[in-house]
């Protein structure tokens, strides 16, 4: 059975990143994962993984402002969240629910779909106090667009309906 065959939105599965997401979405998911892990663990190696992925995708010059905006957005998410944001380990080929919400949030910002980005932000943060995180996501989304990394409009609506397991349950 292939990874796509095992894809379900139930509690016992995760979303296969490589099979389900275009390059820009994967870049956002990996960047979010690695940057948040770096904040949570103080391991600079996590941020180096993100740098490598972004510089490989857009080149080192374009990656620098992306890293700045990514860091600001993820810091805003971490600082305003009313719950612990969960992510899979850096090497995991799948995205968990919180990572998918983060991807959807950035896609919604890129495509100016207000109800979607606010819904994703509220679900991700577990709070109605989402303005700082939305501002960070919007700035990151614009920077991604400037670097030629366009997320699909459909991705903006994906996050709101996801029910996938926590990173502790499978990778």
Q: What is the pLDDT of residue 145?
A: 97
Q: Is the pLDDT of residue 7 over 70?
A: no
Q: Where are the domains of the chain?
A: 21-161
Chain mean pLDDT for the chain? 83
Q: How far apart are CA 145 and CA 83, in angstroms?
A: 30
Percent of the chain surpassing pLDDT 70 = 80
Q: What's the pLDDT at 117?
A: 84
For residue 11, is pLDDT > 50? no
Give the pLDDT score at 20: 58
The pLDDT, as a whole number, for residue 66 is 98
DSSP letter string over 52-119?
HHHHHHH-HHHHHHHHHHHHHHHHHHHHH-SS------TT-SEE-HHHHHHHHHHHHHHTT-HHHHHH
55-65 average pLDDT score = 96
């Amino acid at each position: 059975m292939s990874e796509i065959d095992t894809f379900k939105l139930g509690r016992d599965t995760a979303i296969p990143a490589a099979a389900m997401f275009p390059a820009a979405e994967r870049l956002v998911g990996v960047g979010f994962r690695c940057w948040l892990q770096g904040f949570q663990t103080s391991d600079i190696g996590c941020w180096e993984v993100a740098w490598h992925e972004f510089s490989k995708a857009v080149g080192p010059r374009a990656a620098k402002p992306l890293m700045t905006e990514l860091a600001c957005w993820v810091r805003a998410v971490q600082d305003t969240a009313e719950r612990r944001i969960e992510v899979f380990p850096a090497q995991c080929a799948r995205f968990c629910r919180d990572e998918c919400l983060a991807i959807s949030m950035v896609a919604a910002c890129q495509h100016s779909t207000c109800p979607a980005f606010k819904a994703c932000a509220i679900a991700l943060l577990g709070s109605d106090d989402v303005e700082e995180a939305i501002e960070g996501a919007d700035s990151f989304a614009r920077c991604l667009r400037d670097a030629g990394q366009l997320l699909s409009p459909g991705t903006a609506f994906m996050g709101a309906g996801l029910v996938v397991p926590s990173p502790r349950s499978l990778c």
